[in-house]
Amino acid sequence: MIPWKMKFYLPYIIPLMKIINFCNRIIEFSFYALFLLVPIVFSGSPSELFEFPKMWLTFGITTIIGASWIAKMILQKRIFIQRTPLDIPLILFLASQIISTIFSLDPHVSLWGYYSRFNGGLLSIISYIFLYYAFVSNLETKHVLKVLKVSLFSGLIVALWGFPSHFGWDPTCYIFRGSFDTSCWTDAFKPTIRIFSTLGQPAWLAAYMSVLIPLSISYFLRNLKSKSESSHENQESRIKNYGSGNFFLASYFLLLTSLFYACLTYTDTRGGFIGFWIANIIFWAILFFKKYLKENFLKYFLLFNLIFIVFNFFSGVPISQLSKFTLPELNKIKSSNPTSTHELPAAGELGGTDSGKIRLLVWRGAIDAWKANPIIGTGVETFAFAYYRYRPVEHNVTSEWDYLYNKAHNEYLNYLATTGAFGLGSYLAIIGLFIFQVFQKTLKTQNDSPLRSSENLKVRSTGSLSIPSILITALFAGWVSILVSNFFGFSVVIINLYFFLIPAFIFILSGILNPQKVLSFPSVSDEPSVPSKTSIIQWILLVALLLTSSLFLQNLFSYWSADLNYANGSSLDKVGSYQEAITPLQNAVNAEPNEPVYKDELSINLGTLASALYLQKDASGAAQLSRDAITISDNVINTHPNNIVYWKNRVRLFYTLAQSGKDNEKNYYGKALSSIIKARELAPNDAKISYNYGVLAGQTMGPKKGIEILEHTIKLKPDYRDAYFALGLFYHEVGDNQKAINTYQYILKNIDLQDKQVQDSLKIWGK
């Protein structure tokens, strides 16, 4: 901002002021675009449809905002950063992320984030904190109000997009396939059961709706017509009686709130549902104790909460203890056979192990990972690798036993495991200090007035009279819902944006930011230089800034383009079109040679083609492709030795090459064995790795070694059919037919009575 003393020099700096105002407009509208587009944007082209586009859009907008802010400071010849109450914990949190990245199990992953999502990596954390300071340093009350309106409008689009999918009509399928149904989704995505809209996952949509519902309620209250409002009352009286009296807008926000809550319910997500209701309780409790609504409190409290409860009665709730009181469950009980002695499956058990049971196992593994790395953790966003090392054995008997968990499904334990006590402690310090600020300063009122006094609510030279405390309360309640939903899951791009920027909104709305408390050079007390013209040094800095920001944007575009090629090549590999996949995969590697995900996929592709050429007797061509594949794989594991995924794919590479002919078996089986031994060191309790290790060991070191390892494998996973089958074969191979028969009979008795392969083997063996 231009210091007030410069008003005497305005006749000399009009052209310069126009440039500065242009930068201000870019910053302002970039923030509007951020909250409008991030929840909405998705694409079917990249490797990940939802989070990747949202993160890349955030990176791009952050770059534009950063360039505009820095350009302002260059033109004003002054560094200006607004100080806030959260400065110390934010700096400590950022420091914890940087240190954890430096000493990470995989610094590349820690810097960028886990591939395809990227949210949570160091670059994303830097972006969120930078946006926080850019907002408080450049924008004012009127901009906050516009951002909130944009947020509600974006939420409306998201809700309208996801709502019809519950009834079998998904707009996404219409865009991708031209059919207005849900046929474009696999069984892993069932929007008729759990909607996800443009967020990509039901839990993420639920968390997003939980943030917006209190805000929508506050706008309903804001647009009510006050009883005491009349044509002759003055402006101050209308403010104190809180309301613009727009019945149609009030009706709109009532319907919007109902739509948001319907979408929240249709996500069928416990974490988001609990998060909203805790936020809802806090919202109405603050309104009650602060007497913001006075005599109208009970009426509006009952209006909204009865809407929520009645809707849940007819539509159900995602909490099993409460769902038995809803109409769908009552109808099930009524239609079931009252004499039946069979119990209905518990909620969450249909289709697999209860998610709560799995989550407790993941949390236990996260705590064990932290105990081994207590101060700085395993590295930002390295949970996928850390969890493999400490995964409880009991996870092998769940329905998700072979899933890769790249998050702890608890934001706090995720920070604890990956960034240690330093990372989690500073993160909790942000939360604790902000809550303290809200209750000690922001929500303080005088004489229990429904609004803060106009004097206290003035915001840096904006001239605005006052901002309703109800709006601040709604923002705080929505922010609390993030804390709760993050306890049962993890944040995504839009949720992190709200986590870091809602405090900025509240600080500005409440007017507690002191414009004199800034990080400034020269200091605010110094006489500012007169920017009557732009010096050559300023022009050099502006050109350098333009080039640097352009380079950042170009790198983002290059990465995006590389991912499109990778997604294309990976899809072709999955359907067996390995030859067609070479070109896009090589283009991806050439565009981003430092991204190991692309190299790893290319290595597998080349190894598969080499095996095919060996079988076609093209020895020279196969040898060249094999060398290229192995060289690429060597490079990947040498630079990322702790990434279990790359070691598992290296085993796959050598096993594929070993299948190509007798001449290759001994060499490549040995390399596959050494690779899986390393993988087993990184994941000692992983049953699938143990199984593959047993099979390879039996093939290369003899059946007795295979038996030894597979006997350990079935201890890790007592219901592992493939491990029992391989173990039976090795028993038979060493001549212990009785153990072989007993093993196969165990499969038929305890795992699969109709296993034809086992039955045929027993017939051959005479049983």
The pLDDT tens digits for 528-583 are 454 556 778 888 999 999 999 999 999 999 999 999 999 999 999 999 999 999 99
Q: Is 434 left (phi over 0), alpha (psi -120 to 50) or beta?
A: alpha
The predicted pLDDT at position 531 comes to 55
Q: Is the pLDDT of residue 130 over 90?
A: yes
For Cα atoms 698, 702, 706, give the angle at the middle one, nearest 5 degrees. 35
Q: Which of 385, 380, 375 is nearest to 414 (CA)?
A: 380
Give DSSP secondary structure letters for 220-252.
Answer: HHHTSPPTT--TT--HHHHHHT-----HHHHHH
pLDDT of 767: 56
Residue 626 and residue 620: Cα distance in Å, rounded? Answer: 10
Given this model, what pLDDT does residue 526 score?
52
Predicted local confidence at residue 188, as pLDDT: 74
Flag whether pLDDT at 697 surpasses 70. Answer: yes
Q: Render pLDDT for 391-441 as a digit per residue (tens, 0 to 9).
A: 999 999 999 998 889 999 999 999 999 999 999 999 999 999 999 999 987
Residue 184 half-sphere exposure toward CB, CA atoms < 13 A: 15
Report pLDDT for 521: 62
From residue 21, alpha-carbon distances to 6, 15, 76, 379 in Å are: 15, 10, 12, 41
Cα(638)–Cα(79) distance, integer angstroms? 43
Cα gap 637→646, rounded to integer Å: 7
Q: Is the bond preceding 522 in cis, omega lying within 30 degrees of 0?
A: yes
Please choose, from the candidates 144, 171, 173, 145, the residue with its C-alpha nearest in 3D space to the C-alpha of residue 158: 171
Higher pLDDT, 451 or 385: 385
Instruction: Please state which of the ranges 108-122, 200-214, 453-467 shows the lowest mean pLDDT.
Output: 453-467
Mean pLDDT over 295-305 rounds to 90
Helices (runs of H) and strands (runs of E) counted in the chain: 30, 2
In what helix (H) or strand (E) does residue 80 lie, and over which residues does it extend? strand 79-82
The tally of CA atoms less than 13 A away on the side-chain side of residue 80 is: 22
Say which residue the tokens 């639920």 belong to. 206
Average per-residue pLDDT for the chain: 87
Q: What is the pLDDT of residue 162?
A: 95
Helices 619-639 and 644-658 pack at an angle, to 10 degrees, of 160
DSSP state of 114: S
- Assess contact for 204 and 492: CB atoms under 8 A: yes
- Which stretch of DSSP H or E encloses residue 519? strand 518-521
433 alpha carbon, distance to own chain's centre:
24
Q: Name the pLDDT band for 224 (thresholds 50, 70, 90).
A: confident
pLDDT of residue 532: 57
Structure tokens of 757? 């392969």
Q: Is residue 516 very low, low, confident or very high in pLDDT (cuts 50, 70, 90)? A: confident
pLDDT tens sequence across 618-677 = 888 988 999 999 999 999 999 999 999 999 999 999 999 988 765 666 788 889 999 999
Tell me the Ramachandran region of residue 106: left when phi exceeds 0, alpha when psi lies from -120 to 50, beta otherwise: beta
**157 φ, ψ to 5°?**
-60, -45
Does the pLDDT of residue 104 top 70, yes or no? yes
The three-state secondary structure class of 192 is coil
> What is the pLDDT, as a whole number, of residue 615?
85
| pLDDT reading at 477 higher than 70 | yes
Phi/psi of residue 751, nearest 5 degrees:
-120, -55
Task: Assess whether pLDDT exceeds 70 at residue 340.
Answer: no
Q: How far apart are CA 476 and CA 711, in angstroms?
A: 55
Question: Crossing angle for the helix pair 383-390 and 662-682, nearest 10 degrees?
Answer: 90
- Average pLDDT of 99-105? 97
Rg of the chain (C-alpha set): 30
